[in-house]
Amino acid sequence: MESQLTETIFKALDRFRIEIPSWGFANTGTRFGKFLQAAAAGTIEEKFSDAGQVHSLTGVCPTIALHVLWDFPHGLDSIHEVAALANQYGVQPGSINPNLFQDQIYKFGSFGNPDEKARTEAMEHSQDSIAIARGLKSRDISFWFADGSNYPGSANIRQRKRWFEECLQQLHAALSPEQRMLVEYKPFEPAFYHTDIADWGMAFLLARKAGPQAKVLVDTGHHYLSQNIEQIVAWLLAEDMLGGFHFNDRRYADDDLTLGSIDPYQVFRIFHEILFFEWEGGKHADIAYMIDQSHNLKGKMEAMIQTVTMAQELFAKAALVDYKQLVAAQQSADIVRAEGCLQDAFATDVRPAIRAWRTTKGLPENPQEAFRQSGYLERVTQERGARNMSNAGSYA
């Protein structure tokens, strides 16, 4: 029995990969200000270096999500530099994230902006992002829009929906056959009255209208409290519309807390829906697992390693659900036994098997401890400290 458990966990870990975001290594803050970290990455090279370090310790983060505005200072001309860094540091470019919210021109939106100039600029930036992705052999372009309005009556919601449909259709036409467009949703913030793509249904409709290579991206923090995220996941899987995840945890809103820090059982339930779907269908779902967190109090690299190892644990636990027993219990409406299948798997301590798996892969048993012993943090703190600490800026 014990060896079968280990085998199941090893198989789950062998296939589990998770993408780390470049912005997770940079100094970021809250709406109220930044608290700086001396070791934060300030350049694209430093982000690759930090990501490479996390991958070398965990072995499961071969790609890094890149942000077009922040990581490609020269736009398309930065492709060669980024490709060279990827080779140097041993992490490949992952999803490409356009920025359609930071420039002044986007004050009243991007694709939903009533000013045609803003919509055109947003389209050009999106086209560039697709070209950058193609140049780097990145498959996924992840779109998140801050578009929305703050006061009733101030936006034509249906007109904006049409603009979104048109823009996304045009962008879909620019994709190469192997590329995918991921459409992310979020109920509120920065807009506080209406958000143009506020929930999974809106993202689903827009993606479906855009074309077959458009899928929905589920950011776990982008839901109202108590929303049943795993049900959304199950529906998207059933419709072949689940493209990927942005993982993070939250207590109140889009808090960007460490995955599993508040509600690990929810992450487990999400993984369970995916693995149950795969078991029933007999094939793997094509889903990009990505982290979308930026920590301003925790050490950035420690937090990233903590997130990755937590994701592995929860994925491994979900793989332990006894599906035959679960299906039988569901069939016979044996509620307690069915629920018990999930609870038993969740309660299993998978850490010894994960440590053993790491050893077989030549990885440190405890990546966090190995990071602390490595001296990397001390080195980059010294190298980057003076620059980072003089770079505070202010909120107002």
Residues forming contacts to Mn ion in the complex (CB under 5 A) are: 219, 246, 292
User: Smaller CB distance to Mn ion: residue 57 or 65?
Assistant: 65
CA 210/CA 181 separation, integer angstroms: 9
Q: Taking the complex as a whole, how short is the minimal distance between the CB of residue 206 and Mn ion, in angstroms?
A: 16
User: Smaller CB distance to Mn ion: residue 180 or 246?
Assistant: 246
Asked if 147 and 108 touch (Cβ cutoff 8 Å), the reply is no
User: Smaller CB distance to Mn ion: residue 219 or 367?
Assistant: 219
User: Smaller CB distance to Mn ion: residue 184 or 313?
Assistant: 184
Q: Taking the complex as a whole, how short is the minimal distance between the CB of residue 347 and Mn ion, in angstroms?
A: 30
CA 54/CA 374 separation, integer angstroms: 12
Q: Shortest CA distance to 323 belongs to which of 2, 8, 1?
A: 8
CA 118/CA 100 separation, integer angstroms: 10
Peptide bond into 190 cis (omega under 30): yes
Q: Taking the complex as a whole, how short is the minimal distance between the CB of residue 146 and Mn ion, in angstroms?
A: 11
Q: Taking the complex as a whole, how short is the minimal distance between the CB of residue 266 and Mn ion, in angstroms?
A: 17
CA 87/CA 319 separation, integer angstroms: 33
User: Smaller CB distance to Mn ion: residue 147 or 292?
Assistant: 292
CA 133/CA 33 separation, integer angstroms: 32
User: Smaller CB distance to Mn ion: residue 185 or 346?
Assistant: 185
Q: Taking the complex as a whole, how short is the minimal distance between the CB of residue 187 and Mn ion, in angstroms?
A: 13
Q: Taking the complex as a whole, how short is the minimal distance between the CB of residue 246 and Mn ion, in angstroms?
A: 3
Asked if 221 and 256 touch (Cβ cutoff 8 Å), the reply is yes
- CA-CA distances (angstroms) from residue 90 to 14, 39, 61? 19, 20, 10
Residue nearest Mn ion, CB atom distance? 246
